[in-house]
Amino acid sequence: PIDPVDVPSIRTTKDRPLEEWMQNMEIEEPSGNAYTISSNRESYQEHLLYVHFMKNPKGFQLLLKGGYRPFTGLGKNEVGILQPISISFQMNMRGLGYHEGI
């Protein structure tokens, strides 16, 4: 469950744009395996994940609805991955069973 003290006013995202809400949030350096939210530290926009959240604000809203706390690990104990999964493209478009000599 989300602790309302740790994540300030998630409900306000309905009243004002998500981007404005995220710009007002800021983060501290990682402690252990998670980032903690603060009000007077490095700008939230300077963090790598901010860009990913802004590319898909609906996805971020779904994460928040599901109980995600920004900059904590995924999973029950919040020890999962912190960075988004990167996509790698395979450029040698050959199908399964392809043999060079045939």
DSSP state of 34: B
Joined together, the tokens standing for residue 77 give 């104990």
Mean pLDDT of the chain: 62
Distance of CA 2 to the CA centre of its chain: 16
3-state secondary structure of 28: coil
The neighbour count for residue 25, using CB atoms within 10 Å, is 19
Of residues 28 and 100, more confidently modeled: 100
Sign for the CA dihedral angle at 31, 43, 18, 4 comes to positive
pLDDT digit string, tens, across residues 22-70: 666 554 444 444 444 444 444 555 566 666 676 777 877 787 787 777 7
Closest CA to 53 of 81, 24, 84: 84
pLDDT for the residue numbered 22: 60
